[in-house]
Amino acid sequence: MTLHVYNTLTKRLEPFKPLDPPWVKMYVCGPTVYDKAHIGHAMSAVVFDVVRRYLEYRGYRVVHVMNFTDVDDKIIRRANELGIPPLDLAQRYIQEWFEHVHALNLLPAHYYPRVSLVIPQIIHMVQVLIKKGYAYVVDGDVYYRVRKFRGYGKLSGRNVDELRAGARVEVDERKEDPLDFALWKAAKPGEPSWESPWGPGRPGWHIECSAMNYYFLGEQIDIHGGGTDLIFPHHENEIAQSEAFTGKIPFARYWLHNGMLQLRGEKMSKSLGNLVTIDEFLQEHEADVFRLIVLSSHYRKPLGYDEGVVADAEKALQRLRGGLRPPMGRAEEGDEAAALEAQVRDVREKFLAAMDDDFNTAGALGHVFTLVRAINTARDAGVGGRPFAWAQATLLELAHTLGLELKEEAAAADVVPFIEHLIEIRSELRKQKQWALADRIRDRLNALGVALEDTPQGTVWRWKV
RNA sequence: GGCGACGUGGCCAAGUGGUUAAGGCAGGGGUCUGCAAAACCCCGAUCGCCGGUUCGAAUCCGGCCGUCGCCUCCA
């Protein structure tokens, strides 16, 4: 079985063959850092984190680059409102992003380029594009000559004539063609700017990704990722720039796009004002809960978000963790142990098949739950020892491949002795069959968020979600 | 208006030509338990609608209805 991925460029499932195995060059579009990141950004980050984890699990060595757009209209506007330098504002949110990387258990990218730090490379790329006839200068602006690039529209499935007909953008008369887009914008008063051969100015939005790709990963890359909302025009323009610049086709072999996170049936976005920030989510829930939400549907489909899916994920997480509870017996042989081992093998095989099929995490997760049930059944049957440990190790291994930690929330250490003391007293009461009192302690603790369970091995407790 | 995606049990969600349509959540009934909890077992869908292709379709084709995305900054 080989890994197949859906390629937006060809609109089909293709066997995954990197240019230079085992290396995989992966570039993922990161956020424009002008405000707090929301869970839509987090979804994209988690999706490509899982892609990376699975590739690495399959033996590939991934070089992972994610950019920060720190020079942009919205950043400048926001910074002016706040009366601080634009790059300071950007830096604040970049810092927050790194905190999110940690909190969401994302594998850090190997490089985090930002526009403001690759200006010379961008200028060089624009110069080459001008020299090759793919760009032209107008009053200190530089535009990309879209019609010059054969194949424009191949990613988004549009053709230049349709685009022109549907163009609703205000036409800038200075451009040769309404479709042409800015590679370099002449400085306006009050804006950050850099010196260039065309006068002071700043880069257009699309050129940064082409430049970063080229300077950090080379002429061609294996995987380019981002949200579906970036397909047009951003990624289309990126292809035009990079392929015109290097002359190498294709710029990216596999284009992967994640669907949009939706709140109340609409895309979560700043402009619609229907967003939940990553901080807000993490204040209420664990990172695994969010990841479970993302994993539970296919990454290319829109992901509906509401209190219901969050509550489901909370419970589902508890179930997964339940599979990690210790064995009650120690039988290593017999039908039950053999059945468990067979299940482990079966689940692993199906898990891989699902993930190999364009990262079908929802299907893969279903198999993980099947493993959980197999483990629970075996535990009830008294299986322990090596077969049981192996099953649980497999459960953790597969969960970790998806980026799920499955760690129990650490209890505040200072309350533990009190809880354990109460449990001791209650156990004494139970021995004396003082049920009413014993139940009162249990109910009281339950109300405080501590769940008690009486097992043959004694009473165990855990925090309720 | 153009391009594209999706519509599976109460909710979420896999499955894209052929065994009994995964799995999670919720619900009902059991086992276990002093009672619970957890766990385990059992119960529930013919796959938006209509038509077509086929020995056979949720799965392919066409039409319709509905939802969403892109076409403008956006993960």
Same domain, A298 and A270: no
Same domain flag for A322 and A205: no
Is residue A413 over pLDDT 90?
no
Is residue A57 included in any domain, yes or no? yes
- The answer to whether residue A147 scores a pLDDT higher than 70 is yes
Q: Which two tokens stand for residue A155?
A: 């990613």
Helices A73-82 and A86-103 cross at an angle (nearest 10°) of: 110
Q: According to the model, what pLDDT value does residue A290 have?
A: 97
Q: Is the pLDDT assigned to residue A166 strictly greater than 50?
A: no
Q: Clarify whether residues A424 and A396 are in a common domain.
A: no
> Is A410's pLDDT higher than 80?
no
Q: Does A226 score more than 80 pLDDT?
A: yes
> Is residue A408 assigned to a domain?
no
A345-354 CB contacts, 8 Å cutoff, 24+ apart:
A347/A371, A347/A374, A347/A394, A347/A398, A348/A394, A348/A398, A351/A398, A352/A1, A353/A1
Residue A192 sits in the same domain as residue A321: no
At A203, which CATH number? 3.40.50.620
State how far the Cα of A149 lies from the Cα of A144, in Å rounded to an integer.
Answer: 9
Nearest nucleotide to the CA of A229, by C1', is B70
Per the structure, the residue whose CA is closest to nucleotide B33 at C1' is: A454
Task: Please report which confidence band the pLDDT of residue A411 belongs to, taking 50, 70 and 90 as the band edges.
Answer: low
CA–C1' distance A383–B40 (Å)? Answer: 14
C1' of B40 to CA of A344 (Å): 18
Per-residue pLDDT reduced to its tens digit, A298-336:
999 999 999 999 999 999 999 999 999 999 999 999 999
A299 and A442 both lie in a single domain? no
Q: What is the mean pLDDT of residues A25-49?
A: 96
Q: Nearest CA to the C1' of B1 belongs to which residue?
A: A166
CA distance A145 to A176: 8
Residue A406 belongs to a domain? no
Residue A379 inside a domain? The answer is yes
The structure's pTM equals: 0.96
ipTM comes to 0.95
Query: Distance between terminal CA atoms of chain A?
Result: 39
Residue nearest to nucleotide B11 (CA to C1'): A308
How many domains does chain A contain in total?
A: 3
Q: Are residues A292 and A274 in the same domain?
A: no
Is A407 inside a domain boundary? no
Q: Could you tell me if residue A122 is inside a domain? A: yes
A190 shares its domain with A90:
yes
Please tell me the predicted confidence (pLDDT) of residue A456.
Answer: 85
For residue A432, tell me if it sits in a domain.
yes
Which residues span the domain enclosing A20? 4-280
The mean pLDDT of A259-270, rounded to a whole number, is 87
Both A79 and A185 in one domain: the answer is yes
Tell me: do A144 and A160 sit in the same domain.
Answer: yes
Is residue A158 assigned to a domain? yes
- H runs (alpha helix) in A115-196: 119-131, 160-166
Asked if pLDDT for residue A71 goes beyond 60, the answer is yes
Instruction: Give CA–CA dist A128/A126, Å, rounded.
Output: 5
pLDDT at A261 over 90: yes
Give the pLDDT confidence score for residue A352 in this predicted structure.
Answer: 96
Spatial contact of A260 and A303, defined as CB atoms under 8 Å apart: yes
